[in-house]
Amino acid sequence: MLLTKKELKLIFSDNVSTAVQSVRDRHNLSFEDAMNMIHNEVFQIKPSWIKRFMEQAKLIASWSKDPSTKCGAVITDNKCRIVSEGFNGFPQRFPDKPYLLYNREMKYNLTVHSEINAIIFANKPLNDCIIFSWPMIPCCRCAAVICQTGISCVIYPELSADLKERWGKSEKLSKEIFDKCGINHIELPLSIFGE
């Protein structure tokens, strides 16, 4: 990622001019080149739209019946149109019985992740689409599937302290998968969501 978390935070708080100056100073760029770098990094989507789609992913995550980690995903095309959405949960028609939801091993074996649900429900090619994932980067298994779909960018919030403890290893591997497969990924500071 070319932009720092501080620069992303400035962009999302509508303080683009300060972010541009920071990028110019750090990379010794002209104003135009700094704007192009920011434009390319956030994929032609205004920060207000990125925040809106992340908030949508957060809302969709609330629909999950998982008692410990509620995840949501939104897939958009490069014109800011929602292509698909998904949350983590058991397969369709499978009973959401509490004894299964609270049995960690059973729950992990039965749960379809939000990103996979969104990919399946899209039911169309996803070339050059963007996936917004809440509350964290997609796990390494979902990252591998995302690379196969043609999705060009993944946007997610940084891991909170409690999620870092449980998902830190998967986060590192997911980033490595995205980097090696040429998938752009942008980690947003939690503070822009009031977290």
Q: Which domain holds residue 144?
A: 45-193
Predicted confidence (pLDDT) per residue in 146-163, tens digit: 999 999 889 999 888 888
1 shares a domain with 73: no
Please state the pTM of the whole predicted model.
0.81
- Indicate which residue of 7, 85, 115, 171 is catalytic: 115
Q: For the chain, how many structural domains are there in total?
A: 2
Which CATH number does the domain housing residue 182 bear?
3.40.140.10
59 shares a domain with 19: no
Q: Closest by alpha carbon to 153, among 175, 184, 181, 186?
A: 184
Predicted confidence (pLDDT) per residue in 23-74, tens digit: 778 778 776 677 666 666 654 566 778 889 999 999 999 999 999 899 999 9
Residue 115 annotated to the active site: yes
Confidence class for position 5, pLDDT limits 50, 70, 90: low
Three-state secondary structure call for residue 127: coil
